A and B are shown apart, each in its own frame.
Chain A
Amino acid sequence: MSFKILPKAALSEWIARLLTTHRVVGPRPFHDRFIFDEITSPEDVHLAYPTTLLPPKKYLLPQREELLRFDLKTGTLEPVLDAQPTILLGVHTCDLHAIQLLDRVFNNTYVDQHYNARREALTIVSVECLSPCTEFSFCKSMGTLSVTEGYDLHLTDMGEDYAVDVGTEKGAALLEGVEAVRDATSADYERLNRTLSEKWPRFPYRLEADVSDLASLLSVSYDSDLWEELGQRCLGCGSCTMVCPTCYCFNVVDEVDFTLNAGRRYRHWDGCPLQEFAVVAGGHNFRKTNAARQRHRFFRKGKYQMDAHGLVGCVGCGRCGEVCLVHINPVDTFNELARRRVPVSRRHQEALT
């Protein structure tokens, strides 16, 4: 929409102003790491953070989210929709890509009003990533190191100033009446272009296949021995899915309060690597082995989401690789599949002989 300049010196004042009208959530230190959390003063926010333990997904799909409340005496029930106006500050581009996927998932065929209520109440202020987060991140390989849409405001750190890309009216409203904000000049455009072009060499390519080739790589790797090897290592703890910005699978559970007169139905995060994920009443497990569950997870990331929603299911944030106790990560997995891929001509020859 338009391009503005916000001097860094005015950032605190701007955030203080946002705090008067909205709940503000942003990256803040937590022990020696960072988390997305509610901000109470501008000093809490660290926009130049590496990565967060959990993605900002938790503000759209909370770990535990009330769906319904019911009264057991009267047998009545009512839906719970949370629409607290919230500004999400400092979202990295990988996480923004993940939110775009979630937007599609929760509006595909059936519209999820609970997700949309939170989504519509959210104003997203993303930040341009200028250096790699961790040794595990591989956003450049996944094509998520930049964004062109999905944000309300997008900030790029240019030293003394932030370049502010205004994406929506909702974003523009956050800047209204802020005196320090000015229109960008042609010199600012030059500064921004330089900042952006200088950032790319700092990020390594880590995938040995092109991201657009992932779905087809997986489609010829369904019977790979690698799944069994990963299955042998995997502990089935589900940590990978708990930290993933694109994992959205959930379980739905009822809870009755201590009076036994009322209760609630809520959904909570669930994950396909967990042993009981596909178990039906009676005990049959439709995905019995760690190997099959690991394969399913990686197929969701590299192929199924792309097929169903047109967006890649892994955004390269690196969180799952970092938390995995047995060092399973998407980069090594996809690269190993690429190395083991049998060339088409050889498959043809083998089929003929």
Chain B
Amino acid sequence: MAGPPPAPTPHHAPRAATPRRPRIGVVKFASCDGCQLTLLDLEDELLAIAERVDVVEFAEATSHRSSGPFDVLFVEGSISTAEQAVEIARLRTVTRHLVTIGACATAGGIQAIRNWFDHEEVRQTVYPEPAFVDSLALSRPVADFVAVDAELRGCPISPGQLREFLVALVTGRRPQLPDEAVCLECKRRGVVCVAVARGIACLGPVTRTGCGAICPAYGRGCYGCFGPRESANTASLAEWFGATTAAPDVARLFAGFTAWSGPNRTAIDALGGPPGQREAEGRSGDA
């Protein structure tokens, strides 16, 4: 398998509007389909978008199939089987701009929690016949395998960010995707800080915005589904939580949908691992 083509700088969006309609693909690996569903959830724009691009591969939506080439390929899901690792490498060779969508593709997803557990123990817990199960020991983000040109974060991705990305694509400009903390979104929205006013643990200070600060607006703490913002100081936030909360319960705050991303992973490791690890050790000890 040939390596990926010379990749543009990460997070560098497609620039020039091509004279022909761009060939768009949507594919999935280990995931829930929610991020690709977000495309179909652009109810007001879907038909207009479809007139400006050629959707050549999108199994959930159309019986048109294509194995490439793609001008833009949206990739949902984490890489968690050997077959998927081969397929993502192939897709990279036939794709101009590879865009990962959602927490599974960009950070490994909730299924990456198993990365802390013993692989055999996990397989035996879930499958009556674990011998038939084909999975890699780790569930990992796409960028661990191939160069990624742009990413949309979130669990699921935000319809607003997807719309912005698609408009930028068809008009040939760079999309505006902010990298600031959820806290700023709360301030703009006029949401009272749940951490300060109500003492609720909130990952807002270390999490990239994009969701619209939904959780604080609905009276609960941010659970970090857009992943860490740049230079997120998770250790400091963990220490702050730790003043009032036991270490295992601080670990569980970080052990969510983007647990495997660097800053969250470091915080979880420092606190002794995610919930369920104790159980894992107990079980593999029995085996």
- Chains A and B form a bound pair: no
Partner-A contacts on B (CB < 8 A): none
Q: List chain A positions with a Cβ less than 8 A from chain B.
A: none
